[in-house]
Amino acid sequence: MSLEQGSIVEGIVTGITNFGAFVELPGGQTGLVHISEVAEVYVKDINEFLKVNDKVKVRIISVDPKGKIGLSIKQANPSANRGNRKPKFQPSFEDKLAKFMKESDERLSDLKRQTDSKRGGRGSKF
C-alpha cells in the first residue's frame, strides 16, 4: 500500500520508547509518532497515553526517501484531543520566579542557622 503524506490511517502500536511510539501501518510498514505528536498537552511520559497493541488513528506527516515515516496522533484527531483533556494549570513565569525566590531564601536562612550554630552562635569571637 502506498502511503501518502497527509492521509489518515489506522495502525497498531508495536513499540514504545522515551522519544515516541512505533506504529505498524496497513501493508506492514512501520512509522514513528514522536512524543511531541502524541497529544495537544505536554507529554512527559508516553506510557500515560499509549500502550503496546493500542489501535490508533494517525496522520502521515512525512515520508522520507529512505522510507522513514513520520506520524502524528494529535493531527489525526485535533478536535478530539482539545475537547477531552483540560489543559493543566501552567503557572506564569512570575509565579515560578516568586516560588523559586521564596524557596531560595528559606534554604539560605537554614544554611545560615546551621553555620551559626557550628560557630557558637552570633557575636562569638575566635
Predicted local distance difference test score (pLDDT) of residue 5: 86
Q: State how beta strands 55-63 and 30-34 pair.
A: unpaired
Please classify residue 41 by burial: count the beta carbons closer than 10 Å to its beta carbon, then call 0-12 exposed, 13-18 middle and 19+ buried.
middle
More confident position, 71 or 1: 71
Global pTM reads 0.59
Q: Which of 2, 18, 3 shows the shortest CA–CA distance to 71? A: 3
Q: How many CB atoms lie within 10 A of CB 116?
A: 13
Predicted local distance difference test score (pLDDT) of residue 82: 47
Cα distance between residue 47 and residue 18, in whole Å? 9
Write the pLDDT tens digit of every residue in 59-73: 999 988 888 999 999
Write the pLDDT tens digit of every residue in 8-18: 999 999 999 99
CATH code for the part of the protein at 8-84: 2.40.50.140
Write the pLDDT tens digit of every residue in 67-100: 899 999 998 886 554 444 445 567 788 888 999 9
Q: Percent of the chain having pLDDT more than 90? A: 47
Residue 7 pLDDT more than 80? Answer: yes
**Domain range summary for the chain, segments of one domain joined by +:** 8-84, 90-119
Task: Specify the amino acid at residue 32.
Answer: L
